[in-house]
Structure 1
Amino acid sequence: MSCVYILKCFILLISFHVHNVFSMEQNCKNLSATIMECSNHIPKDIADTVEHVKLVDINTKDISLSYSSFTGKGWYLLKQLEISTLDAPLGWIILYNNTFSSLLSLQILHLSMPGLKSTEKTAFVGLINLTELVIKGCKRLSSFYLLQMLKDENSMPNLNILKIDSLNKMAKDPWKLTNLDKEFFKALAVRNITDFSARNMYIGIVDVEALILVCDTLKTLDFSHSSFYLFAATPTPCNSLRHLVLNSIQPQNKWDNLNVENIHGRVKLYDKFYFFKNIVNLNYDNFFTNVSIVKNTFLHVQCLDEFNFKEISVQNNLFRNLDVVLKADLLFKKLEKLELQGNTLEYLNGGIFTSMSSLKTLNMSNNRIDVMQKINSSDFENILYHLKSLKIIDLSNNGLTFLPSKTFKNNPQLTLLYLSNNRLGQITLSSTFSLSLVDLQSNAITHLDQKSRQWFDEKFQYNKTYTKFVANLYGNPFQCICKYETFLQWIVHTPLVGNPSQTITCSDHEHDKKITVQFTKNLNKECQRATRLRNMAIVSSITIITVIVTTVSTVAVCKHRRKKLRQKRTREEIVAQIQDNNYHFQYPVFLSYSNEDVDLVMEHVYPDLVGHLRRMFDTPRDLVCTGDRNFRPGRTIFDEIDNCLNISAIAICVVSHQFCQSNFCKYEFEQAFALKKPIMLIFIEEVDEQDMSLLIKQHFNNYTRISLRFHNGDVIITPNWERVCESILDFLPK
């Protein structure tokens, strides 16, 4: 009996083990012949053909990482390993000694372990072929353990790429920050590090003088999104450094903006800046987070040696105005590419490019250069004057409505011109025969006029003999109507329509009708038929129209004269009634305004309105009713508003942001509307329609209004007070 029981238990145990193993294996899948992904599972063995393993969503409550995790069959042949664990808020992860020592062929190791708290000294020993280590999201891991690992020369002796991201992110106290000091770079120096990044970190100090220790091999340095207390520079150039990325860095003494005005002079380059002399690519995006303005500035930067900058990116820095002439020949002599997109630029002095004679690519997309185009058209036309080597220019998404014909007159080598997502209606440029592409996607082109067509013809003619020319006009609202028939006949015989990469369609037809030769023939027939019918209608209608016009004109003149006489008599009667104080309204005008605007109204609106009305009606009485003067004490505000409106003939509202926000002001407007009072609006400032109530918005869009503005200390009202008072008299009911 006991033997049978033992046998059943053994079978049950075996079944459970097999089910568990099968369940575990189900957590792994092959993404390709050489890539495997496992979720919350570390397989004991892997196939010899697998070169890359991704261990994702590892829950360290169920699975621990140790030497035995990677000792099974196939692991020693693995070349790339990625480990991503779940966060461990109630428990910490420790990498024990020799955890990866059996991974003899591993070349790339990525660790994303939020719960990683510490590593034992020899955790990375044995990775003799590892060339790339990425430690990301280890917010609890102190830099002490990273330094301890790097100090061990047996750990990753062939490491070339070290990327740390969000390391020790939970430590914000200065004495707990990661320090990239001499001790750290000395530990790096025993390896041939070519690429080092410390992103999204709180760094205490970056000792650039110590960084020289790795400058025989270091090519790329990235501190993006990191903040640091001290960046100690050195005048010694870093010989091997070619790429420096400082996007969104946050130094302790960071400027939120750059505001400079009326500075002219020579500036000697700070000697410690020569550390960056050999850099080829510099990224300095998202540094100035507030609006920066530079006005009327000339700087001559003196350098003792030539710099090697070839590509500089200064994107998304909120440089609204850069009115600066910059002369720095040795600093920018080799610069070939400049990224200025996304800076909200409204003005850019072309003098900033004075020393960039080698610049070939300029990206100024996603700015607001249209402001400069409208206000400083001549400066805009000469913005690229100094860039004689320019080959590629991107002005996309700048709101441009036109391009002066000589914009690119000094850029004979220009080949690629990107102008998409603007509001251009035509394109007429001077001779830019080197162009091979002009991108005009999604502009406001309804047709091309004769000058634009002539410009395109020159490009196509040049194309036949020399270089290929491509124009992209997709997404423009072309109008296929008889008025533009000449344009449509022209376009179907150009390479624009024959280009298979784009479809030219009519936006005024259903389903975006494609423009073809057959379509233009059909349109021509429709236009000719319409012309004949129109001519017949014109001829047959001239006689009838002449008779009707003569009759109607005679009747209209008589009616107009009678109407004028009635208006004159009505005016005279109303004026006499007001002079004799017999008019059935106590006040001709009720003036409505916000208490926030009372000073402005009482100084610039009320006295002028009262004075002109008194002169018009030749009476000393106050003819304007206001809440401040005419509300009776002790009554409710709404009752007094109703009373003032009932004793007044028309309502004049002084509209501002405060008026639109005031419940009392809105009530006064609504009651005047309900009582069918004539309403006139005086706008003392620009008001967004979204801030207006529905009734005010309807009145704003349907009726004329009065504008009161200040200019050089003077008050300007349009129309003038005489015209306003005449309108008031016309509105007064008999």
Structure 2
Amino acid sequence: MIITDVWFGIIAIFMIITIIHCDTYHDCGASCKCFLKVTGARRAFCNGYYIPKLPVSVLKIEIRNSNLTDIGHFALVNLTLHSVYELVFSGNSIRHIHQEAFVNLTCLTVLTINNETSLNVEVLKQALTKVSLKSLKTLRLTNNNWQYLPNDMFDSFKNTKIQKVYLTGNQFSSINGSAFRFFTLCERLFLEENQLTKIYFWKMQRLKRLGLERNRLAKVPNFCSLHDSLFPRLERLSLSYNNIGNIDKTSFICLPKLKDLHLKGISIVQLQNNIFSSLNKLEYINLEMINTLKRIEDFAFNSTSIKKILMQHCKFRFDIVERFNPVTIFKCCPNVNYVNLGINYLPKIPNILYSMFIPLDNLETLKLYSTNLVNLPRNLLNNLRNLRELNLHDNSIHTLDHSSEIFGNMTTLKFLDLSSNLISIMNKTSLQSTILNSLEQINLGANPFSCTCDQKWFLEWIKQTKVKIVGYPYRYKCRYPNKLEGQYLKDYNPTDNICKPWNQLYTMAIVLSLFGISILVIIIFIWICQNNIKNSVYLLRVVYSHRQGHFTLDDRLNYEYDAFVVYCDADRKWVHNVFLKRMESEEGIKLCIHQRDFDIGKNITGNIDKYLEKSWKVVVVMSNDFAKSEWCQWEVDIVQERRRRQGKDAFLLIMLKTIDSKHMTSPLRTLLESTPHVSFQTGVGEDMFWRAAARSLQKQLGLPPVAVL
């Protein structure tokens, strides 16, 4: 019962509001209809051949598309009893208006003569001489196809209170401003959509708005008198869609109060330096020039008062730095808070784009739609601390992966338009939380969304966010995969079961990790066991050489010793106690050691020559001490002769301790580079060393001997 009463109450309130606000039509005679409100009639629309008597409450009368041809002396007598404040004649066939027709309309505030192409301007001029000027404030003489405006058209308007004059849509080719000399209180003058090629202004002290758009002016008119400005209070000027081909810094010097300047659709090729610098109050510039602008000089926007710059549809090549300077273009207008560069060609080089906007600290609105952007430069918006609206509609942006670097810590952004780009995935990292929390409205419509599990976060965010998502759900459709193309994004509902199977990427990651670990282990193994590996390679070569040998084992019986050992005194302990013991006691290899086997009393060189001849091979035990010993180096020079005669197989080189590069001599380097060697190492690999050493001393010499140097 309570619910029913509430509904009745709501319906009653709705009906009351409807009655109060809705207008209804009522007949006001055979050819008129009155537009009524509950308080009484307000408007009358007539289309007959005469004006009937209307209700007293009618305040506005429009006579449209009628057969009325003559407004005689008494044609408007039925209106004299009314407080008619607006009278409109539009699209009729009026040819004549009596000179006394308007004389008794003392409350008339707005007079409109529109689309009366059969009415001669001279006839209207005579009728206006008797119009009551007591209340008249707006005069509209539009679309009447008049070829000229008489200079004395408004001579009867002395002491007039007219504030607005509309002369749009006629065929004037020139106007002498003296026609408006009595409009001393006029604030708005509109001469749009004529064919003006010349205009000479008269001083109008209070004029604030001047409309000259859609004419044929070839240059900016002169706004200067001999001593000062013709329009000292002019705030808005429109020169849009004229044939103006040049603007320089003198074009607007006599407009000290100008705030809004509209230059849309003009044909200038170059924006020169300082063309707006004389306009100290200028705040708004519309430079929407379609495909004619080719060059912007460095300081064209040199004005600290400018707040809004509109340059959309220019198709200007900002991607060609020869046509403008990205560093200076906005440098001298730091107070700009609105920039529209839509439908131009912005640079793809991040540094150039960044340089353009960095001076605009106070920017609140930035529109870069249809500018061929592929990526936004990192740190582009970091400096724009007051930015509230960013429009990137209809570009080729495909990812927001670096959004944290693009937007920084911005918290002021309220409106973001990324519609009609190439964004397929929106995930948690696409836009950082600070941006999402500050937004009031976002538009991502008409992007080629992928309906995959990667979209799951975005779908959940849509359900819980308070941000207005423009165009959702109808402009948000799947593009991929093919089987879901055209489906609304809202109808795609990925579940946890679907979106959390074993990911093949995990398998790939594990395989790659194992492969990496294996490579690392191999590298470490090679590093640790490099000597053992060398020794193994050496042993394999020895075994191979044995199999390829040309002498029988009995040939060794021609030598008293299996090997002559060359070593330094510092390594004697290892040679005597380790090497000699192992080779002779365990392997049966007889070695010649100078401290044991040399003849006593004979000189050392003689002993070396004698026992080298008695030895089948030469063993050289190398170390840092060996490399530092001059005597050992001399021995190396001697045994090199054996190597030249019998080849590298006549040697067993043992690296007992690695030789530092600073101790490496040229003969030793030559010997090591041309002859394989084995390295001694205790622990793992030691047995490999002994096997390689023993087999080397047991192998046959190649036949015939080959010198390798």
**Which TM bucket (shorter chain)?**
0.5 to 0.7
In the other structure, the counterpart of 2:175 is: 206
Q: Distance in 2 between matches of 1:490 and 1:45?
A: 52
Question: Residues 309, 147 of structure 1: CA spacing in aligned structure 2 closer, same or farther, 3 A cutoff?
Answer: farther
| Structure 2 residue 391 is matched with structure 1 residue 418 | yes
Aligned-residue offset at 1:493: 4.2
Q: Indicate which of 238, 257, 273 corresponds to 1:278.
A: 257
Question: Residues 146, 521 of structure 1: CA spacing in aligned structure 2 closer, same or farther, 3 A cutoff?
Answer: farther
Q: Which structure shows the bigger proportion of residues in helix conformation? A: 1
In the other structure, the counterpart of 1:521 is: 496
In the other structure, the counterpart of 1:137 is: 115
| Structure 2 residue 195 is matched with structure 1 residue 227 | yes
**Residue pair 2:364, 2:386 contacting (<8 A) in 1 also:** yes
1:279-318 alignment to 2 at 5 Å? 279-288=258-267, 292-294=268-270, 298-301=272-275, 306-315=279-288, 317-318=290-291
In the other structure, the counterpart of 1:372 is: 346
In the other structure, the counterpart of 1:573 is: none
In the other structure, the counterpart of 1:507 is: 479
In the other structure, the counterpart of 1:108 is: 86
Q: Indicate which of 109, 120, 134 corresponds to 1:157.
A: 134
Question: Residues 282, 532 of structure 1: CA spacing in aligned structure 2 closer, same or farther, 3 A cutoff?
Answer: closer
For structure 1, list consecutive stretches of 5 or more residues without a partner in the other structure.
1-30, 172-176, 539-734
Q: Distance in 2 between matches of 1:496 and 1:221?
A: 53
Q: Indicate which of 47, 55, 73 corresponds to 1:97.
A: 73
**Residue pair 1:82, 1:111 contacting (<8 A) in 2 also:** yes
Residue 116 of structure 1 aligns to a residue in which SS? coil
Aligned-residue offset at 1:477: 1.6
Q: Deviations over 1:592-630 (max 9, x none)?
A: xxxxxxxxxxxxxxxxxxxxxxxxxxxxxxxxxxxxxxx
Q: Distance in 1 between matches of 2:467 and 2:33?
A: 54
Residue 50 of structure 1 aligns to a residue in which SS? strand
Question: Residues 372, 241 of structure 1: CA spacing in aligned structure 2 closer, same or farther, 3 A cutoff?
Answer: same
In the other structure, the counterpart of 1:335 is: 306
In the other structure, the counterpart of 1:246 is: 212
Larger Rg: 2
Q: Percent identity, aligned pairs only?
A: 16
Q: Distance in 1 between matches of 2:60 and 2:72?
A: 20
Aligned letter for 2:395? Answer: N
1:253-268 alignment to 2 at 5 Å? none
Aligned-residue offset at 1:446: 0.7
Q: Indicate which of 364, 378, 382 corresponds to 1:391.
A: 364
Question: Residues 358, 209 of structure 1: CA spacing in aligned structure 2 closer, same or farther, 3 A cutoff?
Answer: farther
Aligned-residue offset at 1:323: 2.2
Q: TM-score of the superposition, structure 2-length normalised?
A: 0.55
Question: Residues 422, 230 of structure 1: CA spacing in aligned structure 2 closer, same or farther, 3 A cutoff?
Answer: same
1:164-203 alignment to 2 at 5 Å? 164-169=141-146, 171=147, 177-179=148-150, 181=151, 183-184=152-153, 186-188=155-157, 190-203=159-172
Aligned-residue offset at 1:433: 3.2
Aligned letter for 1:164? Answer: L
1:317-356 alignment to 2 at 5 Å? 317-327=290-300, 332-347=303-318, 349=324, 351-356=328-333
Q: Distance in 2 between matches of 1:81 and 1:318?
A: 45
Q: TM-score of the superposition, structure 1-length normalised?
A: 0.53
In the other structure, the counterpart of 2:336 is: 359
Aligned-residue offset at 1:479: 0.5
Q: Distance in 2 between matches of 1:80 and 1:44?
A: 10
1:395-474 alignment to 2 at 5 Å? 395-427=368-400, 428=403, 429-431=406-408, 432-448=410-426, 453=430, 455-460=431-436, 463=437, 467-474=438-445
Aligned-residue offset at 1:524: 0.3
Aligned letter for 1:492? Answer: E
For structure 2, list consecutive stretches of 5 or more residues without a partner in the other structure.
1-20, 221-240, 512-709
Q: Distance in 2 between matches of 1:44 and 1:518?
A: 57
Q: Indicate which of 2, 18, 23 corresponds to 1:33.
A: 23
Q: Aligned residues, how many?
A: 448
Aligned-residue offset at 1:444: 1.5
**Residue pair 1:159, 1:192 contacting (<8 A) in 2 also:** yes
Q: Distance in 2 between matches of 1:45 and 1:35?
A: 5
Question: Residues 436, 222 of structure 1: CA spacing in aligned structure 2 closer, same or farther, 3 A cutoff?
Answer: same
Aligned-residue offset at 1:78: 1.0
Residue 507 of structure 1 aligns to a residue in which SS? strand
In the other structure, the counterpart of 1:50 is: 41
Question: Residues 499, 386 of structure 1: CA spacing in aligned structure 2 closer, same or farther, 3 A cutoff?
Answer: closer
Q: Distance in 1 between matches of 2:35 and 2:462?
A: 64
Q: Which structure shows the bigger proportion of residues in strand conformation? A: 1
Aligned-residue offset at 1:208: 4.0
Q: Which structure carries more relative contact order (alpha carbon 8 Å, separation 6+)?
A: 2
Question: Residues 64, 498 of structure 1: CA spacing in aligned structure 2 closer, same or farther, 3 A cutoff?
Answer: closer
Q: Distance in 2 between matches of 1:436 and 1:46?
A: 43
Q: Distance in 1 between matches of 2:363 and 2:35?
A: 58
Q: Distance in 2 between matches of 1:385 and 1:46?
A: 58
Question: Residues 378, 146 of structure 1: CA spacing in aligned structure 2 closer, same or farther, 3 A cutoff?
Answer: farther
Q: Deviations over 1:84-133 (max 9, x none)?
A: 216x8xxx822222433433322222221253223221222222222222
Q: Deviations over 1:223-251 (max 9, x none)?
A: 222112421146x6x54333333332223
Q: Distance in 2 between matches of 1:383 and 1:495?
A: 38
**Residue pair 1:248, 1:287 contacting (<8 A) in 2 also:** no
Aligned letter for 1:250? Answer: R
In the other structure, the counterpart of 1:84 is: 64
**Residue pair 2:26, 2:35 contacting (<8 A) in 1 also:** no
Aligned letter for 2:338? Answer: T
Q: Deviations over 1:540-581 (max 9, x none)?
A: xxxxxxxxxxxxxxxxxxxxxxxxxxxxxxxxxxxxxxxxxx
Aligned-residue offset at 1:500: 5.8
